[in-house]
Structure 1
Amino acid sequence: MRFLNLGLVFGFAAIASAAAIPHTHAVHEKRDTAVAKKWEKRGRLSANARLPMRIGLKQRNLHLGHDLLMDISDPSSPNYSKHWTSEEVIEMFAPEQKTVDAVRAWLIDSGIAPQRLTHSDNKGWLAFDATTEEAETLLLTEYHLYEHVDGQTTAACESYHVPKYIQEHLDYITPGIKLSAPSKRSVKARSASNRIHSSIPFQRATDISTNDDLSQCYNALTPACLRALYGFPETPEYPGGQARTDNSLGIFEEGDFYDQADLDTFFANFTPYIPQGTHPVPAFIDGAQAPVPQYDAGPESDLDLQLSYPIIYPQNVTLFQTDDLYSAYTSRGFLNTFLDAIDGSYCTYSAFGETGNDPIDPVYPDTVWSGGYKGQLMCGVYEPTNVISVSYGGSEADWPTYYQQRQCNEYMKLGLQGTSIFFASGDAGVAGRYGDGNVDGCLGTYGQIFSPGFPTSCPYVTSVGATQINPNSTVYEPESVADYPDWGYSSGGGFSNIYPVPSYQHSAVYDYLQRHDPGYKYYRGNVSLATTDGLYNRSGRGYPDVSANGWNLAVVIGGETGVEGGTSAATPIWASLINRINEQRLNIGKKTLGFLNPALYANPHVLNDITTGSNPGCATKGFPAATGWDPATGLGTPNYPKMLDYFLSLP
């Protein structure tokens, strides 16, 4: 079927405002008026204004993504660890050729010359520039300028129409109904960022033992304490004492930078077997730089590296340092430029109403800051490592849902390729970081509803909570939930408001809620948080999945020795141990572990179950730890000997 001739289309445009839409067309998208509460509709766009039109094509097999990932991640599957290539992933989810042909024919028949059309390399969208008049004629709509309360403007329409036969082939069209302005780019915006690393403040301490004394591990958890706590030997046994060159541990950092002098002091004091000068392999993205002078040392970067190296050495770390200094501090966007750099197809990947980066993400070349990155956005310049640790995050409420869903899909794609991704679960218990959508870290009109974290709630990552050694206890006694009210710190956990309970977690979540129901009112699914009297989504994906110690870990920052903690400490501990196990699997001819959750939920006996403590927030005690999985410590902490035996036994 072909589109109506161009003369008729222009006739339709003239009467679109009177709602005389032909029966051959249907509304494809219409904005919820509540979304525009911070926007003011201004004047009609000039008929000759040029709009960069993108037609997001319906992706193929997105609904199969979950099952495909489970098929290679479930130890009981005959396809376990049969990871895909990046080319296979792109081909699996690319639009069907009939979709490309149908939409292309519609555009050409509507008067868009073939030479004006660009088809993206990953086949996900068709693009062309159009005047406002052409776009309004094509979509039977009107474009207006919308202004956000912060002064930013964008072109958008309230709804648009397409032929009914085309709808099945379209994801969305932009500019369209989406209102998403970039944040104002001012250096002062750093303190307002809702994208933070997940650690509690550094505390100076001068009496930390630098030997293998295990009697003071509660006060300062040294590498020796960690080895005793989780049962891994000081140095891995690798053939010839050499680590592989294809198994570096990936660590993400943004707006926080390590100092080499701090690393060297830490190595000298706590791990003298690690040579001075040991440093990560740089994978700098969009103008990022490191290391920095000691007075600028970042607590997150120093912590991540000083926890990882003692576990994995002589393996190395690949440092994914992201974004120029200006953009790292001022943009609201989070992780998209990193995902661009490790997957070139992500730069132009269409899903959930978005193609490429969102206006809230950094823009390159950086034309605003004189010292900004002047090169093009980096796409596909680095290979993803086998394991990636991310100690940063925020709240689901602080980013658009489509923004989070598109990223979560990317973690699914990386899992298909054999990458294990760990995210910190947050440090505010069942509450979240303060942001646009919450009150004092909690949601709802009165700030009483629990605020789930992002990206840790994505079902295709391994979410890591935090534990602590109890006062007057030793490393040989059970830990409890990390909870320190004086700092407002408690291990993050709860249930997503975006993602449902994944299949691998069904029985664990059901068992917890049946046996250990915390007694709070709840709601189910995607409801209006302004109307519910429930505190959490009973049908949401539960997190964290696992946990590790996140309290009083010995570090050197800015030349001073002290302690730090948070789920940001627990995350690189888990990532490092899995990276170490991957090394041994690779050395005996097996594949990397990839997405871990199905294997862990099916075999929780390889972990140390944590059954005491809770993660308070939003004027509640939060969720209590309990036997089995719980939304405070997940399945538990690492038991390295059991984990190693189990994972080496898998195909």
Structure 2
Amino acid sequence: MRTFIVSAFVAYSTLALAAPSAKSTLKLKESVVAPRGWTKREAAPRDLPINLRIALPQSNFPLLEQHLYEVSDPSHARYGAHLSKEEVNELIAPPPESVDAVTSWLAAHGLDEGDLVRSPAGDWIKVKVPVSLAEEMFDTEYHVWEHTSGDMLVRTTAYGLPEHLHSHVELVQPTTLFSRFRGMKTTFHFTGEAVDTSSATSAPAISVPSASGGQVDASCNTTITVSCLKQLYNAVGYTPLNNTGNQIAATGYLDQFADLADLQSFFAEEVPDAVGSTFDLVSINGGQNDQSEPGGEANLGEYTQFAFGIAFPIPSTFFTTAGSPPFIPDIGTPTDSNEPYLDWLDFVLNQTSLPQTISTSYGDDEQTVPESFAQRVCAGFAQLGAQGVTLTFSSGDGGVGDGDPDPATTECITNDGTDRVQFIPAFPASCPFVTAVGGTTNVPETAIFFSGGGFSNFFARPSYQDQVVSNFLNNLAPGTFEGLFNTSGRAYPDVSAQANNFLIFFAGEEALIGGTSAAAPTFAGFVSLLNDARIRAGQPSLGFLNPLIYSLSSGFNDITTGNNPGCGTDGFNATVGWDPVTGLGTPNFGVLKDLVLSA
């Protein structure tokens, strides 16, 4: 059953637009209610250049999705037969009539082929135009919008297109996208102080039957290190190779950089064999890696410490992508570019060789992202999965709420104009084509209170989740949180990992940090080890992970205590089996290795 469904248009109205060559009748393509916390300010400067992205239909996406599930399902004969970039591009190429119609419309506004940048498959067109022309093309008005946090965007809440183009254009951005694209992090866990673990070093080890040797160092109950994670997740003694073609990568946005000196300090403390090694740096759209202003989030969430330490010596890559809010429209800021997901996708989908495992620790409330935009970004993740890439995303740090410290947006109120109280799902964690990672704490493990989890309002529940999610819902007491979540939506997280008291180096000093931004790269590190085992056995990489992991009857440490409060409730409870706090549980590498080698 297809779970990726392009949104129906919200409403229609007839508009008129004077194109350069003729009058055209427009109908409303998309409209939104501005999310809570945003206030419309002055009209956008008419000469401000904006980078328009026009999405053409991906005519054979249902077939691509079919291929994705077949090559990701261990019970299917095609399991592991990942597609090439060329095969993916052929499947998502837009119909020729759509290309012709949109090209002609752009030409009517004075934009010829030399002004356009087309994606490799032709399903996206990028063009830079001044606000004045964009307003003319869409019969709309752009304004500066200010968030209570101080972030500023240039946006509109509605736009139109010629009626004959509605079947040829799925969306245009930047128009209705008000997402702030926050890093998934819990800053209140960052201490910035030296860490003293001496009191725990002489304490007796903690009995954990699923761990390596059946026990874990007592210090791991207060301070998480690479050694702790390998003990806890049963990977002690496994050494990967660095020459199999296996790679691990991370994405960095929002001016969060990877500090090279701190990485070496971390290696010296926790992975001595890795001292002197580093990662490949890939800059996208002018992304930087400023060593004078590294970020705590990138130090941890983007593999520069823990995931690189877990996976060493597997080659690693740090993607740094430019484009970040806040946008302040003044003379010193010529463009409004805060859609870095698409910049990153543009780049990686054009590569012939990709890292097999990529982790991201950024996202936002699902409701701040137009559904059409979320669907297309999610489709991009599906294209990567079809090519054999595992994508892990942190599930968020707000429990069942939004996790935003801004009081204007923490009331769990819907953005659809009805002002209903509802749990707030996160995106991209809610995309069914990624593996969302929740958080745990302590040894033995329990769910950590901020572990993001819930049910999507945009994406239907994928078939791979039917049994476990139905079991969870059937075991809820009647009426529990009735009306607060979408029982038929894609449920997340899928899995979990430790997410608290990670010992990192920041600005040359030891510090503790936490969040699902720690859990996602941790889980990805163990996926990279699993890929090492498969590739060494002559098997393909795991790729899109979810159909496999939901089919397994073992391989995860079931977390059955804890909950994720939010929205004035205690949130969901961790329970036997899958739950929307810790998913299927935390990885048992030793068991999973045997299972994936026989898949």
Q: Is 1:390 paired with 2:387?
A: no
In structure 2, the gaps of 5 or more residues are 1-13, 18-23, 147-151, 206-216, 329-335
Partner of 1:606: 555
* C-alpha deviation, 1:270, in angstroms: 2.5
Partner of 1:452: 425
Q: How far apart in 2 are the matches of 1:144 and 1:324?
A: 24
Partner of 2:6: none
* C-alpha deviation, 1:278, in angstroms: 2.1
Match of 1:231 among 229, 234, 237: 234
Q: List per-residue Cα deviations over 1:406-443 (Å, max 9, x = no partner).
A: 11110000000000000001111111133999731622
**Shift in alpha-carbon separation, 1:158–1:431, aligned structure 2, 3 A:** closer
**Shift in alpha-carbon separation, 1:313–1:512, aligned structure 2, 3 A:** same
Q: How far apart in 2 are the matches of 1:596 and 1:55?
A: 30
- Normalising by structure 2, we get a TM-score of 0.78
2:220 is paired with a residue whose SS is: coil
Q: List per-residue Cα deviations over 1:583-614 (Å, max 9, x = no partner).
A: 12112211100000011001041111111111
Q: Is 1:494 paired with 2:467?
A: no
**Shift in alpha-carbon separation, 1:334–1:540, aligned structure 2, 3 A:** farther
Match of 2:447 among 466, 481, 493: 481
Partner of 1:171: 169
* C-alpha deviation, 1:622, in angstroms: 0.4
* C-alpha deviation, 1:85, in angstroms: 0.6
* C-alpha deviation, 1:114, in angstroms: 9.4
Comparing 243-252 with 575-584, which one deviates more in the overlay? 243-252
Cα pair 2:117 2:127 within 8 Å, conserved: no
1:228 is paired with a residue whose SS is: helix
Partner of 1:87: 86
Partner of 1:547: 496
Q: List per-residue Cα deviations over 1:12-47 (Å, max 9, x = no partner).
A: xxx9869xxxxxx9965445475699669989x99x
Partner of 2:297: 300
Match of 2:467 among 507, 511, 514: 507
Cα pair 1:206 1:561 within 8 Å, conserved: yes
Q: List per-residue Cα deviations over 1:106-132 (Å, max 9, x = no partner).
A: 999x99999899794533368999999
**Shift in alpha-carbon separation, 1:83–1:511, aligned structure 2, 3 A:** same
* C-alpha deviation, 1:52, in angstroms: 10
Q: How far apart in 2 are the matches of 1:567 and 1:251?
A: 15
**Shift in alpha-carbon separation, 1:88–1:172, aligned structure 2, 3 A:** same
Matched ranges for 1:115-264 at <5 A: 120=118, 122-124=121-123, 143=139, 145-150=141-146, 159-163=160-164, 168=167, 170-172=168-170, 179-180=175-176, 194-200=181-187, 201-203=189-191, 204-209=193-198, 214-236=217-239, 238=241, 243-244=242-243, 246-254=245-253, 255-264=255-264
Partner of 2:66: 67
* C-alpha deviation, 1:305, in angstroms: 2.6
For residue 302 of structure 1, what is the amino acid of its counterpart? N
Partner of 1:336: 342
Q: How far apart in 1 are the matches of 2:531 and 2:104?
A: 49
**Shift in alpha-carbon separation, 1:265–1:634, aligned structure 2, 3 A:** same
Cα pair 2:183 2:297 within 8 Å, conserved: no
Alignment length, in residue pairs?
A: 542
- Normalising by structure 1, we get a TM-score of 0.72
* C-alpha deviation, 1:395, in angstroms: 1.3
* C-alpha deviation, 1:279, in angstroms: 1.6
* C-alpha deviation, 1:343, in angstroms: 2.0
Q: How far apart in 2 are the matches of 1:149 and 1:327?
A: 11
Matched ranges for 1:380-419 at <5 A: 383-419=353-389
* C-alpha deviation, 1:497, in angstroms: 1.6
Q: How far apart in 1 are the matches of 2:502 and 2:125?
A: 51
Q: Is 1:565 paired with 2:518?
A: no
For residue 557 of structure 2, what is the amino acid of its counterpart? N
* C-alpha deviation, 1:272, in angstroms: 2.3
Identity %: 34
Q: How far apart in 2 are the matches of 1:244 and 1:40?
A: 55
Q: List per-residue Cα deviations over 1:304-346 (Å, max 9, x = no partner).
A: 33212332112132111222788899954342222222123xx
Q: List per-residue Cα deviations over 1:519-573 (Å, max 9, x = no partner).
A: 4343xxxxxxxxxxx2112221110000011121222222222322211111111
Q: How far apart in 1 are the matches of 2:521 and 2:230?
A: 14
Cα pair 1:431 1:451 within 8 Å, conserved: yes
Partner of 1:434: 404
**Shift in alpha-carbon separation, 1:80–1:106, aligned structure 2, 3 A:** same
**Shift in alpha-carbon separation, 1:26–1:598, aligned structure 2, 3 A:** farther
* C-alpha deviation, 1:84, in angstroms: 0.4
**Shift in alpha-carbon separation, 1:328–1:630, aligned structure 2, 3 A:** farther
**Shift in alpha-carbon separation, 1:317–1:97, aligned structure 2, 3 A:** same
* C-alpha deviation, 1:648, in angstroms: 0.8
Cα pair 2:324 2:339 within 8 Å, conserved: no
Partner of 1:529: none
Matched ranges for 1:280-359 at <5 A: 280-290=279-289, 292-293=291-292, 296-303=293-300, 304-323=303-322, 332-344=338-350
Cα pair 2:184 2:516 within 8 Å, conserved: no
1:284 is paired with a residue whose SS is: strand
2:532 is paired with a residue whose SS is: helix
Q: How far apart in 1 are the matches of 2:427 and 2:157?
A: 27
**Shift in alpha-carbon separation, 1:511–1:167, aligned structure 2, 3 A:** same
For residue 169 of structure 2, what is the amino acid of its counterpart? D
Q: How far apart in 1 are the matches of 2:184 and 2:577?
A: 28
Partner of 1:277: 276
Q: List per-residue Cα deviations over 1:181-238 (Å, max 9, x = no partner).
A: 899xxxxxxxxx5512424432224322598971221111222221221110245154
Which is greater in Rg?
A: 1
Cα pair 2:324 2:337 within 8 Å, conserved: no
Q: Is 1:443 paired with 2:444?
A: no
Q: How far apart in 2 are the matches of 1:218 and 1:132?
A: 55
